[in-house]
Amino acid sequence: MNPKLTRSQQKTICSQLGRVKLQLLYKASIHGFTGAAFHQRCDTHSPTVSVGYNASGFVFGGYTKQPFSQSGQYVNDDQAFLFTFSGEKLLKYPVTVPANAVRMVGNSGPYFGEALVLANGSQPVVYNNPGNYYNFNAAEMHGNDLNLTECEVYHVEETKELEKPWRTVIWESETRTELMENIKSYKPPVSSVSQIRVLLIGPVGAGKSSFFNSISSVFRGHVTNPAMSGSFTSSLTTQFRSYSLKAGQEGKPLPIILCDTMGLEESTGSGLNIDDISNILKGHLPDRYQFNPSVPLDSEAPGYRKSPVLKDKIHCVTYVVDGCKVSIMPSKLEDKLEAIRRKVNLMGIPQLVLLTKVDEACLLVKEDVRNVYKSDYIKEMMQEVSTRLGVPLSCVVPVKNYSEELELDPNCDILLLSAVKQMLRFADNYFDDISDQFSKMELKE
C-alpha cells in the first residue's frame, strides 16, 4: 500500500508536528469510500492526518490528536487544524471552536466540525461549509471541486530513538583517518587489476554523481563537484563515465573507479537502457560513451571493447536509492531494477545498496548524522529497500552526500568512507569467486 502523499508533502506536514513520521492506515481506493471501512482501519489511532485528493490537483485535509470513533459526539481538540497545499507550501486553518473540532460520525470518513467532511455519507465526495468551527477559503482549499479521487488517513507516529544503535560506528577522527588509510592502501587480490570498478545505478536524482563528488571531496579535503549533479526530472548524466579518485590534489589514484550511468527513469525509452547494462558489466563500454535511451550499444560503436579483460569489467554493482522516496518508488521503476538485478545475479557480481539523503528522510538524523543507526525510521527504510530490491539488509548502507555544505563534516565522511570500504570488501568477494578461473600466475604470491 503506497502513500499518494509525496515524501516532500509528508515532511512538510511533519514539520508542523515535531519529530514524527506518517504511517498510512487507510486508503479509500483500496479499502473503500465508506464510513465503515474508514472506521475499521482508523478508530482508536491517534493523532492522525486525513488527506483528500481531487481531479483538479488539490491536496487538502485535517489533523486531529483525538482518536476517531462512532459515538456521534463532538470531541474537543485545541490543536486540530485543516490544511491545503499551495505548491510545496502548507496553508493551515486552525480550529476556531476547539469543543467542536471533530465529530464522530459512523456513516462518513474524517469529519472536522461541520466545516469539512471527507467521504461524506460513504461517497467519494467532500462536504464543505467554511466558517463552522474552521475558517477557510473553499476555492483556496480545494478549488470548489468536491469530488474525491482518493482519500487517505495517516497515523502520526513519534520517530523513536533506539536505546542502542543497531550497527556499531565509532564516531571519532581516528575512525575517519583509519578508513582513509585502509582505502588508500587497498590492493585487489588479482595482479592484473590495479583498481576495482564499481557501477553506480539508480533513479534520476538519487545521488549517484553526488556520491562520487562527496568521496572526491573527502580525499581532497574540501567540498568539490567534479561530476555534474543536482535535482532534475531527467538525468544530468548522459555519458558513461569512469571516475578515478585521487588521494588529494596531486595524490596517487585510489584503488577504486566509480562508474556513473544515466539515471533510471520510469517510462520506456527514457533514462538508462536496460540492454546497455550487460555491455557495461562485461566491460565493453568506453569512457564517455554517449547513451541513447532508445537504442542499445552497437558493437561497431567507436571505442567499443570487443575483448575486455578482467580490469575492464565491473567488480561490484551499487544501487543508489533516495531515502525520501523508498515508499513511493513507482512500480515500473521497481521492475527495471529487478530486471537489472537478474542480469547482475547471472554474472555473479556482488550488489550493494546506498540509501542516500537520510538526513532529509529523518529529522533525528538531520539533527545529528550520528543518529543514523539510532533512528527506527531509517532502519525501516533500509529494511523496505532491502525487501524491494531483493538484497540482504547487510548489503544496505546509509550515506549523506554533500549537497549544500561548504565544509566537510567528519561524521558524514565516516559514513561515506564506510560505504567505500564495503565496496572494496564486495569486490574481494567477486575476485574470490572467480579466482579458480585464473592461473596461479595471475594471483599474487
3-class DSSP assignment, residue 264: strand
- How many domains, in total, are found in the chain? 2
Are 381 and 298 members of one domain?
Answer: yes
How far is Cα 285 from Cα 303, in angstroms, rounded to an integer? 7
The model's pTM is 0.73
Beta-sheet strand order (sheet of 253-260)? 289-290, 239-246, 253-260, 196-201, 316-322, 351-356, 396-398
CA distances from 224 to 242, 254, 294, 309, 407 (A): 17, 17, 33, 32, 10
> Do 270 and 378 sit in the same domain of this protein?
yes
Buried b (16+ CB within 10 A) or exposed e, 231-240: eeeebbbbeb
In a domain? residue 163: no
- The reply to whether 94 and 207 lie within a common domain is no
Concatenating the DSSP letter of every residue in 44-85 gives T--SEEEEEEETT--EEEEEESSPP-SS--EE--TT-EEEEE
**Cell 502523499 -> residue:** 5
Task: Verify that 45 and 181 share a domain, yes or no.
Answer: no
Concatenating the DSSP letter of every residue in 119-161 gives SGGGSSBEEE-TTSSB---HHHHHTT--BEEEEEEEEEEE-PB
* Beta-bridge partner residues of 322: 356
Contact by Cβ (8 Å): 428, 376: no
pLDDT averaged over 10-residue windows placed end to end, the chain, 445 residues: 88 86 95 96 96 97 96 95 93 96 95 95 95 94 97 91 90 97 94 94 89 94 71 54 84 91 69 77 81 66 83 95 82 87 93 95 89 92 92 96 92 97 96 70 46
Beta-sheet pairing, 116-118 with 111-112: antiparallel
Last residue of a domain, one of 158, 182, 217: 158
Would residue 407 count as lying in a domain? yes
Closest CA to 130 of 93, 91, 100, 165: 93
- Residue 397 dihedral angles phi and psi, to the nearest 5°: -125, 135
- Domain assignment of residue 35, yes or no: yes
Residue 240 parent element (H or E): strand 239-246
Rg (CA), the chain: 26
The answer for residues whose C-beta is within 8 angstroms of residue 178's C-beta and 6 or more apart is none
Nearest to 425 by CA among 188, 202, 229: 188
Per the domain annotation, does 167 fall within a domain? no
| Dist. CA 211–CA 227, nearest whole Å | 9
CA neighbor of 291 nearest in space, from 235, 209, 207: 235
Task: Assess whether 126 and 272 both reside in one domain.
Answer: no
Question: Domain range spanning residue 264?
Answer: 173-443
Residue 238 has what pLDDT?
A: 66
Residues 148 and 22 in one domain: yes
Distance CA 26, CA 37 (A): 8
Sign of the CA dihedral running 233, 238, 242, 244 = negative
Domain boundary among 126, 158, 190: 158
Give the span between the Cα atoms of 64 and 181, in whole angstroms.
53
pLDDT at 232: 43
Q: What is the pLDDT of residue 278?
A: 86
Is residue 214 one of the residues assigned to a domain? yes
**Are residue 148 and residue 198 in the same domain, yes or no?**
no
Rounded distance between C-alpha atoms, residue 445 and residue 441, angstroms? 9
User: What is the DSSP code (8-state) at residue 15?
Assistant: T
One domain for residues 105 and 66:
yes
> Which pLDDT value is given to residue 294?
58
| Residue 22 lies inside a defined structural domain of this protein | yes
118 exposure class (CB count in 10 Å sphere: 0-12, 13-18, 19+): buried
Assess whether 119 and 152 both reside in one domain.
yes
Indicate the residue among 158, 188, 222 that finishes a domain.
158
**Grid cell listed for 434:** 572467480
Cell (9 digits) for 61 = 485535509
Question: Do 112 and 230 belong to one domain?
Answer: no
